[in-house]
Amino acid sequence: MGSFGDRLKKQREQRSISLDDISVSTKIGTRMLRALEEEKFDQLPGGIFNKGFVRAYARHVGLDEEQTLSDYLAALGEAQQQAAPPQPAPVSRPAAPAERPSASAHDSPERESPAEIPWGLLALGLLLAALIFATWSYYHRERRAETGTAAPPPAAEVTPTEAKSAGATSQIPTAPTDSKSAPTSPIPSTDKPGAESAPVAQAALQGAASRETIPGAFTVLLKGNDTDDECWVLIAVDGQPPVEAILTAPQEKSVQATREVVVKAGNVGALDVFFNGNKLGRLGDYGMVRTLTFHSDGLQAPPPKAVPGAATH
């Protein structure tokens, strides 16, 4: 464990705060909080989700959020440098044989040497593909086991007057109804497809019902489209700590934001996505993991992938 994780654990224990206390307040699983303290960053979702976890942890324990986030980024950089695979040695090709002088008609023609296959590069590519697939499968199984054993949190109490003003939208914690596991944290949900959903602001992601409409907000609706195959999603709204859920048809989750919605889907082929009531096209196949970013103008194009070995000018 590095100095970053040691400091987090030491500050938490000095304040007599348990991981369960932080998990109940932030809606972040204890397994991920423990991975953060042990600096096992490969067990976290990554990107904006990890930053949200660090901020929520620091806020609950009473640490400076910006300093804690800066320490996390430094520790992450060191971990990535230590885990970086060694660069493969360039494959040397045999020197071309010197051109033979003109042979007589009785000499047999020289046989051309076959091109050498880069076995080293092929083996490295296969190894990387196997590691990625194994990591995704392990993470998916851990998610199912954790969400299947965790108890659903209580629903927030809403008075009839508040329910009417919020468009009759309430926090609905879903519980497992069959062999498939359900989300461990409640997300604002609409009762019928097409019904007007209440805005989900910063307080909505932490379990409180919204009571007024946000001017200039946009809505993202996630809906399971397969009754036999489930889709795991992790949703972050306007930079707040992410909330996870598992959707199967006809379950759906509707969120509203003013700046940004980031959705990480673990099985995007089993998910239908709507933006402001308009259904988007097919976003991927079954088993594909994809991160979707929405702004007020709609789904954002993914950043271009860097070409390995490309020369920079």
Tally the domains of the chain: 2
pLDDT at 91: 56
Rank 23-32, 34-43, 289-298 by mean pLDDT and report only the highest.
289-298
Model confidence at 103, in pLDDT bands (50, 70, 90)?
A: very low
Give the least confident one: 99-103, 134-138, 228-232.
99-103
Does 292 map to a domain?
Answer: yes
Least confident of 45-59, 80-94, 280-294: 80-94
Q: Which candidate, 189, 181, 213, places its Cα nearest to that of 199?
A: 213
- The pTM score is 0.35
Q: Are residues 177 and 282 in the same domain?
A: yes
Q: How far apart are CA 30 and CA 147, in angstroms?
A: 12
Q: Indicate the pLDDT class of residue 170, thresholds 50, 70 and 90.
A: very low
For the cut 60, the answer to whether the pLDDT of residue 195 exceeds it is no
What DSSP line would sit under 72-132, residue for residue?
Answer: HHHHHHHHHHHHPPPPPPPPPPPPPPPPPPPPPTTSPPPPPPPPPP-HHHHHHHHHHHHHH
Q: Cα torsion at 191, 192, 197, 202 (round to 10°)?
A: 50
Q: Residue 143: inside a domain, yes or no?
A: no
In a domain, 308, yes or no: no
Domain boundary (36, 51, 83) is at 83
Which among 50, 125, 120 is positioned nearest to 80, based on CA atoms? 50
Residue 277 covered by a domain:
yes
Q: Is residue 53 part of a domain?
A: yes
Task: Among 50, 83, 116, give the residue marking a domain's end.
Answer: 83
Rounded average pLDDT over 233-262: 92
Which of these three, 22, 57, 83, is where a domain ends?
Answer: 83
Q: Residue 125: inside a domain, yes or no? A: no
CATH number at residue 45: 1.10.260.40
Per-residue pLDDT for 249 more than 80?
Answer: yes
Same domain, 77 and 165: no
Above 60 in pLDDT, residue 270? yes
Question: Per residue in 32-43, pLDDT tens?
Answer: 888 888 888 888
d(CA 286, CA 268): 6
What would the mean pLDDT of 31-57 be, rounded to a whole number? Answer: 87
Residue 13's domain comprises 3-83
Structural domain contains residue 105:
no
Residue type, 214: I
- Say if 287 falls within a structural domain: yes
Clarify whether residues 190 and 284 are in a common domain.
yes
48 and 178 both lie in a single domain: no
Q: What pairing do the DSSP bridges indicate for beta strands 243-247 and 252-257? A: unpaired
